[in-house]
Copies of this chain bind each other. A is one copy, B any other.
């Protein structure tokens, strides 16, 4: 016989509600009855049907995580660390996690909304969404709780957690400058992501503030991966004069650029200095070890989960946002310019 609240209630000679209360813990039941009910439940190997609970209580106790399914997907250490942060927080509050990796090339406008209305989840965290994503605008029109990670969008309806990308770019460029570099190139990430845009912005503004001229041929547009950066940085190494320093939008890209530089017979940092962004595990292992702007990725994940949970509980209201600080991690890929 299948164990349900009803069956247990009958055996214990109490109402279903009493049994329900014992397992949901939402209100008090006499010690005595509790003991009896638990005993019967354990004999029958009863565990609550959480789907039924969700339907009835109109609460899934689950959050959804959406992320673009790139070639790397989970392999992307960036995403991995964010997931770690989210998980750690969410579990403390007894929420479960549902995953929604999706393909940006096939994205339907209604993906987010349809899941929001499915009652499967109580809120969602969206990783690495893009600026031209119409589904986001649609979602924002509902009052479903959601938080963007790595997508900075100030608006009364959006909540986000991101790191201080412009500041990070500034840190990198100023460091180059202090070491004597004046010819500083930039390898940009996918311009559909706000952090790519912000890093470019930081690059340009810092050049300006430092009195350096912006040269179009020293900015090259890639995607957030090694291969594309390798490909796109070729033209950079054919400009005259050659840049003496290259700032890359992330560490994988920096590795791609370093590969290209080696292939051209040049040496990092002797001929060209490099700075990346993120501080992924690999960065300290490449040769030379990569100087980079560290993002507190795990913290971003944690923060986004905390934000979402407070939105779900109604403890806070949109718009909520937070920009976390970054720092420069100095390793060996940058060299002083000799005159």
Contact = CB atoms under 8 A, between A and B. Distances in A.
Contact size range, A: 35 or more
Interface in A77-111: 77, 79-81, 83-84, 87, 91, 96-101, 110
A74 B99 contact: no
A51 interface: yes
A283 B30 CA distance: 60
A50 B77 CA distance: 32
Contacts of A50: 118-120
Contacts of A79: 74
Contacts of A179: none
Interface stretch (A41-49, A128-136, A153-161, A242-250): A41-49
Interface in A58-75: 60, 62, 69, 73-75
Nearest to A87: B101
Contacts of A96: 98-100, 120
B62 A98 contact: yes
A51 B99 contact: no
Contacts of A99: 87, 96-99
A81 B77 contact: no
B117 A47 contact: yes
Nearest to A97: B99
A114 B46 CA distance: 8
Given A80-B74, A91-B101, A99-B99, A51 B55 contact: yes
A34 B69 CA distance: 33
A284 to B, nearest CB: 10
B114 A47 contact: yes
Given A84-B74, A99-B98, A287-B287, A60 B51 contact: yes
A286 interface: yes
Nearest to A3: B117
A147 B235 CA distance: 50
Contacts of A118: 47-51
B74 A87 contact: yes
B113 A87 contact: no
Interface of A: 45-52, 54-55, 60, 62, 69, 73-75, 77, 79-81, 83-84, 87, 91, 96-101, 110, 113-114, 117-120, 281-282, 285-287
